Structure 1
Amino acid sequence: MSALTPALAEIVEEFTEVPEADRLELLLDFSRELPELPARLAEHPELFEQVVECQSPLFLIVEVDADRVVNLFFSAPPEAPTTRGFASVLAAGLDGCPAAEILAVPEDMPALLGLSRALSPLRMRGMTAMLARIKRQVSEQLAA
């Protein structure tokens, strides 16, 4: 069954409650809130997977702990606000959630933000690819 995590549902609601014309600004607000990388990861770019579908360089790491709780880490340049915004939405909506909840998030979740008229299909594909990478890495770590 597909479902949003409680935090992600709240973010989707936040986007759909603002007028369509203001949603891009909300995404830019999120871009400024992308958490910094912890020092243990910042010094090891080789640990990150690049999401090549993103128009700007975006790298991510997914960690699943012994309790099957997922932690997400993203690296995106400050001059890529749309990409950073998408990463920040996913970080705010998925970080710290149980693996099963993340795996249940629908593949088309980015479309629920109501940004498809404000952003190109290529940009929207970038966020969809980020979500797919996160889910794939979670599945791989659970299987290991």
Structure 2
Amino acid sequence: MSDAPLPAALAEIAEDFSSASNPMKLDLLLEFSEELPALPDRYVGQLDKLERVDECQSPLFLTVEVDDGERLEDRPVHLFFDAPPEAPTTRGFAGILHEGLDGLSAAQILDVPDDAPMRFGLAEAVSPLRIRGMVAMLARIKRQVRAKTATAASI
């Protein structure tokens, strides 16, 4: 794992998970699943406007919106996820990323280490395939932030 720091909110979540027993980790994951915000009306029924994360074992779709600003440090990012209620692990991962990253600047999101999902100590509680899904979610978020900030910068 890299030594790069996590953003404060994500670091706090990682610490909570890392210090918990495996059964408690699953309870925390369920809490994040239940707290994942619903899609805003503009995306409801519009999954074609979101990107599917195929690496997730359950259907998960996401998109990011990046506010205007001159510098990446001045451009807040908003995350939106759609996952079925019967997929609590996948929803929990999305909830963690939403809680830990939503509202951060584009620069802060791009600085999140790619191995961040490995820092939650979840590998002992869930399958490696599930962890791969969370890694893929983070990669998609960062790719979308790069694409949306590059497009705006080139206009």
TM-score bracket, normalised by the shorter chain, equals over 0.9
53-62 or 21-30: bigger deviation: 21-30
Matches within 5 A, 1:44-123: 44-67=46-69, 68-123=75-130
Percent identity over paired residues:
59
In the alignment, structure 2 segments of 5+ residues that lack a partner are 70-74
Contact 1:5 1:93 in 2 (8 A): yes
Question: Following TM superposition, by how much is the alpha carbon of 1:117 offset from its aligned partner in structure 2, in angstroms?
Answer: 1.2
SS in 1 for 2:79: strand
Determine helix, strand or coil for the equivalent of 1:41. coil
How far has the Cα of 1:51 moved from its partner? 0.1
Q: How many residues align?
A: 144
| SS of match in other structure, 1:72 | strand
Return the offset for 1:41. Answer: 1.3
Once the two structures are superposed, what CA deviation does each residue of 1:58-112 show, in whole Å capped at 9, x if it has no partner? 0001111103110000000000000000000000000000011111111111111
What do you get for the CA RMSD once the two structures are aligned? 1.2
Which residue identity is paired with 2:129? L
SS, match of residue 92 in structure 2: helix
Find the counterpart in structure 1 of residue 45 from structure 2: 43
> What CA distance in whole angstroms lies between the structure 1 residues aligned with 2:11 and 2:122?
16
Deviation at 1:2, TM superposition (A): 3.4
Of stretches 115-124 and 15-24 in structure 1, the one that deviates more from structure 2 is 15-24
Structure 1: tracts of 5 or more residues without a match: none
Report the Cα distance in structure 1 between the residues aligned to 2:16 and 2:131, rounded to whole angstroms.
18
- With the length of structure 1 as denominator, give the TM-score of the two structures: 0.95
Distance 1:102 1:113 in 2: 17
Q: Which residue does the alignment assign to 2:17?
A: 15
What TM-score do the two structures reach when normalised by structure 2?
0.89
The alpha-carbon deviation at position 4 of structure 1 amounts to 1.3
State the partner residue of 1:129.
136
Q: Identify the match of residue 5 of structure 2 among 3, 6, 10.
A: 3
Asked whether 1:31 is paired with 2:38, we answer no
